[in-house]
Amino acid sequence: MTSLVNVYLTNNSIQGKIPTTLSSLTNLERLNLNGNLFTGSIPTELGTMTKLVHLFLFDNPLTGTIPESSMSSLLLLGKLEFH
């Protein structure tokens, strides 16, 4: 699965924390987790995903802040409303 480039898990009512294991998808360029029920903060491990260009986290009840990262090519971070 490390060859995955796009992951779209939109509007699936997925609950819990965003899995830190997503960071093992080293070739990932687009990660769309919009419209789920992810809670907690954005894992700092996602900051190691240097090929990630689009990260979408709209409509999730996340808390905390956006972590500092080495995602130098990140172009878009979806509209986030932290609770």
Q: Is the pTM above the cut of 0.75?
A: yes
The residues with which 55 forms a beta bridge, in sequence order, are: 31, 77
Q: Kindly report the CATH number that applies to the domain delimited by 6-77.
A: 3.80.10.10
Tokens 């779209």 belong to residue? 8
pLDDT per residue as tens digits for the range 6-50: 999 999 999 999 999 999 999 999 999 999 999 999 898 888 888
Give Dmax over CA atoms of the chain in angstroms. Answer: 34
Would you say residue 79 has pLDDT above 60? no
Nearest to 34 by CA among 4, 49, 17, 13: 13
Residue ranges per domain, the chain? 6-77
